[in-house]
Chain A
Amino acid sequence: MASKREKTSPCLKNCLFAFLSGGAVCLLGQAMKDLFALLGAEEKTAYSLVAVTLVFAAGLCTGLGFYDKAARVCGAGLFVPITGFSNAVTSPAIEARCEGAVTGVGSEIFKIAGPVIVYGNIASVIYGVIYYIYLCFAG
């Protein structure tokens, strides 16, 4: 009974923390988006600015050591939003500092974020080709 409880309860707790923290990051993003829109940015630009600001802030928190501590508690809530992408870029970059600027920081930056860009790009190119063929027949 005790072991069964041990197995199920961390999952529930993890899920709750992931939900709350992930929601909070998105809520913060929405507030920023409204702020940028208020300052006169277009909808699309406002979302890009939100991404850039969150990337900046999450990188700073990573450097200061807050982000990894919080991510241990919040799990997916902090690695699925764009802030997690920023953390995945910044964290290895800081770790690799002592290995030099080119073979250290330069290559480690994309250690975790690389696959995301690679497969995202491949998927988008495949979609582009399909869409092009579709336009040829439809248009």
Chain B
Amino acid sequence: MSTVTATRPTPAELSPHVGVGEGIRQTMTLAWRTIVQVRHNPWELGDFSIQPIMFVLLFTYVFGGAIAGSTGEYLTFALPGIIVMNMLFITMYVGTGLNIDLTKGVFDRLRSLPIARWAPMAGRIIADQVKQAWSIFLLLVIGFILGFRIGTDVWSLLAAVGLMLVFALAFSWVSVLVGVLAKDPEKVQLFGFTALFPVTFVSNVFVPTNTMPSWLQPIVEANPVTILSDACRALMVGDDTAGTQWHVASATTPAIQSMIWAAAIAAVFAPLSVWALRRKV
């Protein structure tokens, strides 16, 4: 017992604040923790690996022929949008994890440690980015096996991935707010389902905008999911969509609009989340 109970002699002078380098190291440790959680919890891995694969398979083979004439062509249009949609769903894990920490008291333990105040949040968001990158990679591989081909070049593809990761970063703040406000982790998931499903389906992810009723079209066109999907389609598929209703001549405009959306979402939800969290703890 003596080795365990002996207290550390208090240094004469304790450091008054956390250095940025230390904060980054702590962030990486907390990100590691979130990744280890996935390792111990394979169903979560299934959730953000198997579910998107099912979406790709279902939509391509069940609806693809009816929507685009052939399943192969449909995959070309739909895959970039499905990746975007999946990205939004995965951001909900930030909120779920945060909510578990808050309800179980882990968040208090972390706050009682001499670590950077921003490290727990930053750690979650970095871990989320790892999950995002993994899912995008997985969906691209599945798409490739099913016949999806990149119609542009590797730089455009990386730009599309980068664009989605930045958007995910911004949208994570919505998830953080839900995670703080929800009474339990299940409510966070419920929100993910009930709010994100209409938002992602009222877009041109699965069907082109001009097939929808005219009153719905302006809503679909204004939906950031549509805009980001357009940008990703243009960056991944490029001119392969020429002649289809999904064709976007240039990625520049939707990419810039996506960034503006991301900035706006972060500008609204980041302060709101921090405020809600301060009130709660």
Bound pair: A and B?
no
Q: Which residues of B contact A (CB under 8 A)?
A: none
Q: Which residues of A contact B (CB under 8 A)?
A: none
